Amino acid sequence: MSNLPPLNTETIWAILDDQLDDATVNQLLWHYLGYRYDSSIAQWDTNQVASEWHNEYPQPPDFIESRPATVKLTRSIPVENKQMLKEKLGFKGYKIGEFGPRQTRRATAANWLLSYLQQANNKK
């Protein structure tokens, strides 16, 4: 997972515009949640994963396919950051008839990553 794109607004837009594949979106989420794959033992290292994630998901979930994992991701976004896609990026959402669960879950992933980026910048 060392070939991940940088976490910035261009990457967030690439998620929203479906320019990054679902696997990469998942890998970004896994990385920033703390999941690390140890190829030497072919297992996930979860030492950096918060207990509320590790306990429920000892293996990183497929956020694009799993509604429960995406709901948990949504709930983990701080209230003040829930509208960041609209407020920070001007994202107007998807048009009716042009989106389904996959796009909604990608938007949730983008919002979570943007929230993570904001929190990381606030710590600096």
Which tens digits make up the pLDDT trace of 77-121? 999 999 999 989 888 877 777 778 899 999 999 999 999 999 888
Exposed/middle/buried for residue 3 (C-beta within 10 Å: 0-12, 13-18, 19+): exposed
Q: Is the overall model pTM greater than 0.85, yes or no?
A: yes
Q: Which two tokens stand for residue 12?
A: 């967030």
Please, what are the domains in the chain?
A: 9-119 (1.10.418.90)
Which tens digits make up the pLDDT trace of 5-32? 999 999 999 999 999 999 999 999 999 9
- Tell me the average pLDDT across 50-69: 95
- Highest mean pLDDT out of 1-5, 49-53, 85-89, 118-122: 49-53
